[in-house]
Amino acid sequence: MKYYILVGEASGDLHGANLMKELFRKDPNAEIRFWGGDLMKNVGGDIVVHYKERSFMGFIEVLFNLKKILGYISFCKKDIESFKPDVIIFIDNSGFNLRIAKWAKEKNFKTNYYISPQVWASRASRVKNIKRDIDSMYVILPFEKAFYAKYNYPVTFVGHPLIDGIAGRNPIDELAFRQKYALGNKEIIALLPGSRKQEISKMLSVMTSVVEDFKAYQFVVAGAPSQSKAFYESFMTDTTIKFVPNQTYDLLSISHAAIVASGTATLETALFKVPQVVCYKGSAISYQIAKRIITLEYISLVNLIMNNEVVTELIQNDFTKLNLKRELQKILTTEHRKQVFSEYHDLEEKLGGKGASEKTAQLIVKGLKEN
């Protein structure tokens, strides 16, 4: 059978790659064409467009690149019609994917969604379109099933794919890793400023501004595959800061604490049992717009899942050197760390265990065979 997968960012590339592995296992004759990244490309199939070619963040950034985005939408529709897939699988990335889904449903393509758009955070009215355009929805956060039930839309909770990705890793040789990147023997504080240029430019200089106050620790920036080392270094304010490219999981596995840009990385950090301070800062206009449409009490996945402030969030004007210094000092204390570790354990229990990618692939293949 033929599968067309649409992914728009680094985290989607990871989940898309794991889903593709399971699709190939469940359907050895699978033909897969996709919009994704290097991880998906390494699994197999045919890549159409790399996610980093269309990585735009924030309302203003999208507006400035609207012509380019509309061109990608038009091209995507033509490519789908040419490929004639048995199913289109959307992964997160709602702005692009929901537009394609509306068109696809009108063209009678089978539509599946893996990793729901965050309609529970803002613009819940989009559920109406999802009900109309998506045949099957596979959700990865425990509260999403109850959210959709309020709108009489049945979805399937499959568990969170990050659990598989982290549990299946081979342990690293910490000494060799430290030697490779000249990390020395100090406890490590990891800096995860995101993968998009807009995120990094807004947050990394503040993240690194506290280094002088924590000389007993080694600060290390986790570089995403979509950006160059030189770009990160332009915001690193202290020569003692180290850089590790494209090995975030290995870095987290040996980290003592972390400062993390809001997003999937907050959950990844929690699953590695690393105490963290969560940060977010966007353009002033984008933030003012977001503040008016987002209805959530928290922005980090950790706090949303637990419905409690497990990790501190420093958002927009609260994300300052002084506040970051205070919160970092707090998460380095023994008493605070014990509490966080306990909360992280409960978080993992709520996420439903292993097998999200396998369950989703099995349900997708089964649905195609039944039709």
User: Identity (one letter) of the amino acid at 90?
Assistant: F
- Give the mean pLDDT of 262-285: 88
Domains in the chain: ranges and CATH = 2-159+355-370 (3.40.50.2000), 167-350 (3.40.50.2000)
pLDDT for position 198: 82
Is the per-residue pLDDT at 285 higher than 70? no
Question: Residue 287 pLDDT > 50, yes or no?
Answer: no
- How much of the chain exceeds pLDDT 90, in percent? 71
> pLDDT tens-digit profile of 291-306?
444 556 788 999 999 9
pLDDT at 296: 64
The whole-angstrom separation of Cα 117 and Cα 97 is: 9
Q: What is the pLDDT of residues 50-66, one digit of tens each?
A: 987 765 454 445 555 56
The per-residue pLDDT for 293 is: 44
In percent, the amount of the chain with pLDDT more than 70 equals: 92
| CA separation for the pair 119, 133 (Å, rounded) | 15
CB atoms within 10 A of CB 201: 15
Structure tokens, 370: 């039944």
210 CB-near residues (< 8 Å, 6+ apart): 321, 324, 325, 328
Distance between CA atoms of residues 196 and 1, nearest Å: 34
DSSP 184: -
**Distance (Å, rounded) from C-alpha 134 to C-alpha 129?**
8
Instruction: Name the residue type at position 300.
Output: S
Residue 112 · residue 135 · CB < 8 Å: yes
pLDDT tens string 134-167: 999 999 999 999 999 999 999 999 999 989 888 8
pLDDT at site 368: 95
DSSP state of 351: T
- The pTM is what? 0.79
Averaged confidence pLDDT in the chain = 90
- pLDDT value, residue 182: 96
- When pLDDT is cut at 50, 70 and 90, the band that residue 40 belongs to is very high
pLDDT at res. 25: 96
Q: H/E element holding 166? A: helix 161-167
Which of 35-44, 50-59, 196-205 ranks highest by mean pLDDT?
35-44
Reply yes or no on whether the pLDDT at 316 is more than 70.
Answer: yes
Higher pLDDT, 298 or 259: 259
pLDDT of the residue at 52: 78
CA distances from 346 to 19, 27, 143, 340 (A): 26, 35, 15, 10
Give the separation between CA 284 and CA 305, rounded to whole angstroms.
Answer: 27
Q: How confident is the model at residue 330 (pLDDT cuts 50, 70, 90)?
A: very high
pLDDT at position 130, please? 97
- Structure confidence at residue 9 (pLDDT): 84
Query: What pLDDT, on the 0 to 100 scale, is given for residue 264?
Result: 86
Write phi, then psi, for 281 (nearest 5 degrees): -150, 125
210 contacts 189 by C-beta, under 8 angstroms: no
Average pLDDT, integer, range 76-84 = 97
* Residue 98 identity: L
Q: Is the dihedral of CA 77, 79, 82, 86 positive or negative?
A: negative
pLDDT value, residue 95: 85
Please say if the pLDDT value at position 289 is more than 70. no
Banded model confidence at residue 333, pLDDT cuts 50, 70, 90? very high
Query: Can you name the residues that pair with 326 across neighbouring β-strands?
Result: none
* Lowest mean pLDDT segment, chosen from 8-17, 75-84, 318-327, 361-370: 8-17
